Amino acid sequence: MRDALSGEGGIAGGALTCEGVTFSYDEGRSRVQALDSVTFDQPAGCATALLGPTGSGKSTLLQVVRGLLDQQAGSVSLDGVTADDPRYEAVRRQVGLVFQMPELQLFAASAFEDVSFGPRQLGWPPLQVERAANAALASVGLPVERFARRHPHSLSGGEQRRLALAGVLAMRPRLLLLDEPFVGLDPRARRELVAVLATLRAEGAGFILATHDIDLAWQLCDSRLLLDDGRLVGAGPWAFGEGGEDELVAHRLCPPFFVALWERLGRPLAEAPRSAAEAAEALA
Amino acid sequence: MKTAIAAYYPGSSLIHRFDPRAKLVAVAAFSVALFVRTSYWSLAVLGLACLTGFALSHVPPRWFWRGLRPILWLVAFTFVLQALFGPGELLVRLGPLDISREGVERAAYLSLRLIVLVVAGSLLTLTTPPVALTDGLAWLGRPLRKLHLPTEELALMVTIALRFIPTLLAELDTIMRAQRARGADFSRGGPLRRARALVPLLVPLFVSAFRRADELALAMEARCYLPGVRRTRLHPLAAGRRDFLLLLSVAAIVTLALAV
Q: Do A104 and B183 touch (CB under 8 A)?
A: no
Split at pLDDT 50, 70, 90, the class of A234 is: very high
The whole-angstrom distance between A170's CA and the closest CA on chain B is 10
B174 interfaces chain A, CB cutoff of 8 Å? yes
Least confident of A166-170, B16-20, B223-227: B223-227
β-bridge pairing A231-234 and A223-228: antiparallel
What integer pLDDT is reported at residue A2 of this predicted model? 37
Mean pLDDT of B73-90: 79
In tens, the pLDDT along B25-68 reads 999 999 999 988 888 888 999 999 999 999 999 888 888 888 78
Residue of chain B whose alpha carbon sits nearest to that of A28: B1
Does residue A1 have a pLDDT over 60? Answer: no
Its ipTM equals: 0.82
What integer pLDDT is reported at residue A90 of this predicted model? 86
Least confident of A57-66, A217-226, B203-212, B233-242: B233-242
What integer pLDDT is reported at residue A9 of this predicted model? 47
CB A96 within 8 A of CB A68: no
Does residue B234 have a pLDDT over 80? Answer: no
Q: Choose the mutation target among A97, A107, A151 for the interface with B, i.e. most B CBs under 10 Å.
A: A107
Split at pLDDT 50, 70, 90, the class of B219 is: very high
In chain B, % of residues over pLDDT 90: 26
Q: Do B200 and A102 touch (CB under 8 A)?
A: no
What integer pLDDT is reported at residue B62 of this predicted model? 84
Q: Do B181 and A107 touch (CB under 8 A)?
A: no
B175 interfaces chain A, CB cutoff of 8 Å? yes
Mean pLDDT of B166-186: 88
Kindly report the CATH class assigned to A2-108+173-237. alpha beta
Does residue A238 have a pLDDT over 90? Answer: yes
Contacts of A102 in chain B (CB under 8 A): 178
Q: Which residue has the higher pLDDT, A37 or B7?
A: A37
Least confident of A207-216, A261-270, B127-136, B198-207: B127-136
What integer pLDDT is reported at residue A29 of this predicted model? 62
What integer pLDDT is reported at residue B183 of this predicted model? 84
Q: Choose the mutation target among A64, A105, A154 for the interface with B, i.e. most B CBs under 10 Å.
A: A105
What integer pLDDT is reported at residue B2 of this predicted model? 45
- Compute the count of residue pairs across chains A and B with CB atoms less than 8 Å apart: 45
Q: Do B204 and A167 touch (CB under 8 A)?
A: no
A128 interfaces chain B, CB cutoff of 8 Å? no
Instruction: Give the start-to-end residue ranges of the domains of chain B.
Output: 14-143+238-259, 151-222
Q: Is the dihedral of CA A28, B200, A110, B211 positive or negative?
A: positive
In tens, the pLDDT along A110-134 reads 999 999 999 999 899 999 999 999 9
Find, among B26, B18, B20, the residue nearest to B6 by Cα: B20
**Taking a contact as any Cβ pair under 8 Å apart, which residues of chain A between 12 and 51 contact chain B?**
none
Mean pLDDT of A232-246: 93
A173 interfaces chain B, CB cutoff of 8 Å? no
Residue of chain A whose alpha carbon sits nearest to that of B199: A107
Q: Do A171 and B208 touch (CB under 8 A)?
A: no
Q: Do B183 and A118 touch (CB under 8 A)?
A: yes
Split at pLDDT 50, 70, 90, the class of B1 is: very low
A152 interfaces chain B, CB cutoff of 8 Å? no
* Averaged confidence pLDDT in chain A: 91
Least confident of A57-61, A112-116, B220-224: B220-224
Instruction: Give the start-to-end residue ranges of the domains of chain A.
Output: 2-108+173-237, 242-284
A163 interfaces chain B, CB cutoff of 8 Å? no
The whole-angstrom distance between B119's CA and the closest CA on chain A is 27
What integer pLDDT is reported at residue B84 of this predicted model? 77
**Taking a contact as any Cβ pair under 8 Å apart, which residues of chain B between 181 and 240 contact chain A?**
181-185, 199-200, 203-204, 207-208
Split at pLDDT 50, 70, 90, the class of A6 is: very low
